Amino acid sequence: MRIGVVIPAYNRPGLVVESLQTIAEQDRPADQVVVVDDCSTDETADRIAEWIKDRDGWSLVRMSKNQGPAAARNRGIEALSGADLIAFLDSDDLWPREHLARIERAAAKRPEAVAIVADQLVARKDGRSRLRKADWAQGRVLVGLIRRGGCTPSALAVSAAASARVGGFKDSMRCHEDLEFLLRLSEIGPFVRADGPPVSYRFGVGCGDVEAASISKHSTDGAERRLEIVRTAFANHMTARRRQLLAWAYFRSARLLFKTGFPAQARSRCWSAIRTAPWYVRPWFCLFRSFGASAR
């Protein structure tokens, strides 16, 4: 089984070298590694080129203009040759030494799986950390994706055939493109969890506070983006379970709007949830609470 690794990078000259080092130290070496520089404006591309020099199977692809991580990953996938599995690593994250070995074992144990996911340790720039287990991949994957948000690409490996079948990531998306990709993958096959130490997901490290807030699933903007992704994914086929999941996504957005001081917008989201799944009671409670709140 051949494993290819794809890493998108943009303006992270120090962090990307740390990420590359964790690939080089894998117990099970990668068969091919493609690093895609997304038109960095600093020395990132030069640092990568210097670091991978004389390493067999490692290459650098330079984008002609900045297009975001989705497009960069797709370019990396195109540059792979003959890979059976594609593992992703973002330029600020770290793999444990046995990551590729356990990915290979999980894929061999369940060859029909379209995606293999690992646990992740979310480490924030303020020093806090939180373990996010990938146990959702062992149950109802669609429910796990909506309620848990899936996983960071650094904790994901996909079948090359499955990636080609769904068309890779959506180039136009610069935020939550991973969730949208996972939703499409969940339509064509099962997921499997790879046991072992978690991937280190360094959230907000190496980027400014504004960038970190814009990509956070806990920010209002992030919740709205996720809601739109779910709504679009379910548009053509709405079962009772999907209605409740979409209603939950509306409710989650409403709850966040309410907590951040936007009761009128929260009421609108509650009504959307109620229209989608009238039997789902949580939006009703949020709606009643919003009437007693004052706007900012």
What pLDDT digit, counting tens, does each position of 124-134 carry? 877 788 999 99
Element (H or E) spanning 35, and its range? Answer: strand 32-37
- Is the sign of the CA dihedral 167, 239, 230, 7 positive or negative? negative
Element (H or E) spanning 212, and its range? Answer: helix 209-215
Nearest to 23 by CA among 4, 10, 46, 37: 4
Three-state DSSP class for residue 85: strand
For residue 31, give the amino acid letter: D
Q: Give whole-number Cα distances, 262 to 17, 265, 291, in Å.
A: 42, 6, 11
Nearest to 48 by CA among 64, 32, 59, 63: 59
Q: Which CATH architecture has domain 3-214?
A: Alpha-Beta Complex (3.90)
165-180 pLDDT, tens digit each:
999 999 988 888 999 9
Q: Are 119 and 93 in contact (CB under 8 A)?
A: no
Which pLDDT score is estimated for 212?
45
Give CA–CA dist 155/280, Å, rounded.
32
Residue keyed to tokens 């190496």: 206
pLDDT band at residue 214 using 50, 70 and 90 as cut-offs: very low
Give the burial string for 72-92 (b: 16+ CB within 10 Å, else e): bbbbbbebbeebebbbbbbbb
pTM: 0.82
Which pLDDT score is estimated for 62?
96
Please determine, for residue 271, whether its predicted confidence score (pLDDT) is greater than 50.
Answer: yes
Nearest to 183 by CA among 233, 257, 118: 233
4-38 pLDDT, tens digit each:
999 999 999 999 999 999 999 999 999 999 999 99
Considering the chain, tell me which residue range(s) the CATH 3.90.550.10 domain(s) occupy.
3-214
Reported in sequence order, the residue ranges of the chain that DSSP labels E, i.e. its strands, are 3-9, 32-37, 58-62, 85-88, 115-124, 129-132, 156-159, 191-203
Which pLDDT score is estimated for 256?
82
